[in-house]
Amino acid sequence: MSETDSRENPTILVTDDDAMTRMLTRQCLEAEGMIVLEAENGPAAIDLFVRESPDLVFMDVQMPGMSGLEVCERIRRMPQGRDVPILLVTGADDEESIDRGFRAGATQYKTKPVNWSLLGRDVKFMLRSSQHVQALKRQEDRLRYLAYYDPLTSLPNRRSFTEELDRLVLTHHNKDAHVAVMFIDLDHFKRINDSIGHARGDRLLVEIAKRLTDQLSDYGDINILSDVGDYQYLGTEESIIIARLGGDEFTVVIPNVEDDEKVTDIAKRILHSLSQPVELQSHNPVVTPSIGIALFPKDGTDPDTLVRNADTAMYAAKSMGRSCYRFYKDDMNSSAVELLKMEEELREALVENQLELHYQPLVNSSDGALAGLEALVRWNHPERGMISPGEFIPVAEQTGQIIDLTAWVMKEAIKDCKIWEQAGFADFKISINISALEFNHDDLASHVTDLFDEVDFNKHRVQLELTESAIMTDAQANIKKLSELCDLGVTLAVDDFGTGYSSLSYLRQFPINVLKIDRSFVMGIGTENGNAIVDAITSLAKALHLGLVAEGVETKEQMDYLVASGCDTLQGFYLSRPVPAKSIIGLLTKPFEI
């Protein structure tokens, strides 16, 4: 409710050139506890309206000089007069006269002679109706604001940016001028956010938005949120658009670009302004921007292509050392840029819940019972859909993000297991892959212990899978690490066995429990060499009293051979593809066909 609507004594502006009418109106309204302002003509009414902001206007249509209809139209053109109820009074009662009054902006129409005994009630009813309408309008405006604008910076959000870019591209198709799309990402913002706290980080983002607005205002109109509380942006169809897409990502769209020099000048000013220290109480952090630029129509004739290429140019700027700008070029889709882009997006995925776990069953070869589930991470990218683990796992290993990724997998897998426990299913193991990078950390055992303590889970139900190449890198030193893990009570499995050139002497010393035959050997089943290799690994596992799992089982022939050879556990598409956690209960209730 606005300040005027919440007044106990609403203010009514009475405008009539007849003094007797003004006096009678005053008496009726003051008797109802209202405050009355009087104007004897149109100009006086407009002056009082601007100065006093009344809650309702009671006005005669027929006045000398400026008519009531003209006053009504002028009030409606004012920002503060768009929604104020206006009651027009006239002696004309024909439909045309009444229609003219409503077209001028009247809320209600009353014909003379006025029923003075009912006037106060009529005005009170109009005020109440106006309050209800304004409340609904404010709610609608608020919902529109939340849908289209960023509540932290009051800049347009991703949805608003996308719609405005669509419109600009459409209107510029028949123009010689270009449109510039800038992607701006703050370098190392997460590190600054973690060090000074999220509250100060938010204030920093607000300051960045302010600096962008200040710098770009010299180049044209900018969509700026109006200050009348209706969440409307002011600007023309050719206004510069500044948007916050989320996190530390901002975009700028500049219409009517005649040459690259103007865009270069803007990029330099943004770079200089945003790189200045930001005063935040006792902290003065410095954040630098990396800016990518794509031009319509040279770098794309549709919004999706422009956005993608501006994004690529931004990552190219980061790969060049950050704190710079780059125009898009066709050769920017290099492996280095794509690697950096994947690294940044994977970091966001860990924070923004884009990752999910799927589980692939490990099946007992003797009776088809479920022996365990292997947790496999999947990345459901908001724009690109499902990204193959073959794409992002190598990036995570190369950048060190695999450690955070493994911790996330372990926590989520244990969380799912506890749900299945409550449903009565707790007699199977959960397999989790440990990367070579994480295995090489000296404090791996304590890290795993901390995770288990945090979620209160039975460690004996966990099987950690380590690749053969990882444990053989420094076999003598790794015996100690494996022993520390074994002491925790977890099962240790050697993944991809047969590809890492294990020494038999070390294999006997390693405190491992399970060998997993690599899928490449399973694929060779049916050939003389393939059968021989599987038979040899099976014999080795039995001689060392180790469990044996065959992964990559994709045909009945492969399954039958492995069962006949004495392989303990089977895993592969023939039995089940990896499935989401919500689908696991169905697999737990019945055995697999062997």
**Residue-by-residue DSSP string for 81-132:** GSSS-EEEEES--SHHHHHHHHHHT-SEEEESSP-HHHHHHHHHHHHHHHHH
Give tens-digit pLDDT for 395-410.
898 888 998 999 999 9
pLDDT at 269 over 70: yes
Give the per-residue pLDDT at 68.
Answer: 93
Q: Which strands form 86-90's sheet, in the order they lie side by side?
A: 35-39, 11-15, 56-60, 86-90, 108-111
What pLDDT, in 10s, does the model give residues 515-570? 999 999 999 999 999 999 999 999 999 999 999 999 999 999 999 999 999 999 99
**24-49 pLDDT, tens per residue?**
999 999 999 999 999 999 999 999 99
Over residues 186-194, the mean pLDDT reads 83
CA distance linking residue 266 with residue 243, whole number of Å: 16
pLDDT of residue 228 exceeding 50, the answer is no
Is residue 6 scored above 70 in pLDDT? no
Two structure tokens written together for 471: 């444990």
User: Would you state the pLDDT for residue 569?
Assistant: 97
> Tell me, what's the pLDDT at 231?
46
Residue 208 has a pLDDT of 95
Q: How far is CA 545 from CA 137, 193, 475, 500, 542, in A?
A: 75, 52, 20, 20, 5
Average pLDDT over residues 276-305: 90
The amino acid that residue 564 corresponds to is A
Whether residue 54 contacts residue 12, with contact meaning beta carbons closer than 8 Å, is answered with yes
Q: Would you place residue 1 in the very low, low, confident or very high pLDDT band (cuts 50, 70, 90)?
A: very low
- Nearest CA to 389 out of 364, 360, 425 is that of 360
Per residue in 422-437, pLDDT tens? 888 888 999 999 988 8
Average pLDDT over residues 149-168: 90
Residue with more model confidence, 197 or 303? 303
Residue 5 has pLDDT above 50, yes or no: no
Q: Is the pLDDT of residue 238 over 90?
A: no
pLDDT band at 338 (very low <50, low <70, confident <90, very high): confident
* Whether residue 348 has pLDDT greater than 80: yes
- Decide: residue 1, CB within 10 A, 0-12 exposed, 13-18 middle, 19+ buried: exposed
**What does the mean pLDDT of the chain come to?**
88
User: pLDDT band for position 584 (50/70/90)?
Assistant: very high
The pLDDT of residue 226 is 46
Domains of the chain: 11-147 (3.40.50.2300), 158-328 (3.30.70.270), 341-588 (3.20.20.450)
Residue 573 pLDDT grade (very low, low, confident, very high; cuts 50, 70, 90): very high
The answer on pLDDT for 589 being more than 80 is: yes
Phi then psi dihedrals of residue 580, to 5 deg:
-65, 160
Is the model more confident about 170 or about 145?
170
Taking phi first (over 0 means left), then psi (-120 to 50 degrees means alpha), and beta for anything else, what does residue 323 get? left
Q: How many Å apart are CA 516 and CA 569, to the nearest integer?
A: 9
What percentage of residues in the chain have a pLDDT greater than 90?
56
Give the model confidence (pLDDT) of 455-507 as tens digits. 778 888 999 999 888 888 777 888 988 999 999 999 999 998 877 555 677 78
How far apart are alpha carbons 300 and 474 in whole angstroms? 52
Residue 171 in this model has a pLDDT that exceeds 90: no
Q: Is the pLDDT of residue 2 over 50?
A: no
Q: Which pairing describes strands 429-434 and 370-381: parallel, antiparallel, or unpaired?
A: parallel
Residue 580 has pLDDT above 50, yes or no: yes
pLDDT (mean) for 232-238: 57
Quick one: tokens of 384? Answer: 């690109």
The closest of 391, 410, 393, 390 to 402, measured between CA atoms, is 393
Question: pTM of whole model > 0.75?
Answer: no
Of 477, 472, 389, the closest CA to residue 433 belongs to 389
Q: Is the pLDDT of residue 62 over 60?
A: yes
Question: What are residue 267's phi and psi, to 5 degrees?
Answer: -60, -40
